[in-house]
Amino acid sequence: MNFRERLRHFTWSFFTMTMATGGIANVIYTVETMTPTWIFPIYPLLIIGPHAAILSKSLPPSATVVDIIIGGFTLQGIGFLVAFLIYATFIYRLMTQKLPPESGRPGMFVSVGPSGFTVAAVLGMADRLSANFAQDFMGDGPMAAMILKVVANWACLWIWGLAIWFFVVSVGAHWSCARHHGRFPFAMTWFSFIFPQTALVTATFAVGKAFQSGEIQILGCVMTVALVLAWFMVFGMMIRAIVKKQILWPQKGEDRDEGGFTAPEKQPKRRLSTMSLSKITSNALASMKSNGKSG
């Protein structure tokens, strides 16, 4: 790998690290309003691992690839552990508070992403260890690669199961919204139905490949078809909401109080009572008399 490609990889890692730390430092909300969207600031670190896994597969075996895998695994671990701490806050919020409001409830699906991306990243990087470890790496390179791959495969089963559990919880939280369609208008948070599930689908294919399970890979294919159909549905609902001026319109959508838009204040209509009319008439007559005398 030449210097330019190496610089591009580590520059990307540096900026994702700064975005993640700066974003976490600016969270100022309370637990009562907490949703898994709090994980968003750490999301840049959660895609470093998949990026490193793809990059390691596209490069010829070398010690540089091992450096990329070690760096990707480290940053992916930071992202997942921070997300895991936020998971604890989310579980505490669910146990002590009501479910989020209907407009923000799709954000619950964001909790699926960290586990899914981590599974895809770890399994992808572990698959490249045997081709890149030197013979004397950690004493016995091939043996170390085999042990790490076995540990990664079985550990990722737990994390994959965690992603599925959060997916089921998020689906169950929308049951009341599905029964009362009128209480669930379109919002841009509906796209949370889509992008976190891409991580779950990718993780499902990675687990199926790691354990050579055709059934799990078929499940991944079914999930892919459902995800594509869901994307078309959400995209169609977005176009419908734009046409009906439910979003991208002043004082509409979940960001109605942002962007400097303010609704024009309506002046209340004043109704004149009979006493007010008589008082105005008497004042007018008195002023006319005074003007006549002065003339």
Task: Please calculate the CA angle 181-227-98 and round it to the nearest 5 degrees.
Answer: 45
Q: How far is CA 77 from CA 48, 69, 97, 119, 288, in A?
A: 10, 12, 30, 11, 89
Considering only CA atoms, which of 34, 46, 40 is closest in space to residue 89? 34
Q: For 20-46, what is each residue's pLDDT tens digit?
A: 555 555 555 666 667 777 787 788 888
How far apart are alpha carbons 216 and 157 in whole angstroms?
12
Q: For 66-96, what is each residue's pLDDT tens digit?
A: 888 888 899 899 889 988 888 888 888 888 8
Tokens of 208: 């199926």
Fill in the DSSP letter of residue 182: G
What mean pLDDT is reported for the chain? 79
How far apart are alpha carbons 253 and 246 in whole angstroms?
6
pLDDT, greater one: 288 or 137: 137
* Least confident interval from 173-177, 189-193, 222-226, 249-253: 249-253
Asked whether the beta carbons of 253 and 247 are under 8 A apart, the reply is yes
Interacting residues of 24 by C-beta distance below 8 A, sequence separation 6+: 41, 42, 82
Highest mean pLDDT among 40-54, 59-73, 86-100, 151-165: 151-165
Kindly tell me the sign of the dihedral angle through the C-alpha atoms of 221, 222, 225, 231. negative
- In DSSP notation, 88-127 reads HHHHHHHHHSPPPPTTTGGGGGGGHHHHHHHHHHHHHHHT
Q: In the chain, what is the straight-line distance between the N-terminal and C-terminal CA atoms, in Å?
A: 104
pTM of the model: 0.74
The pLDDT of 261-287, averaged and rounded, is 58
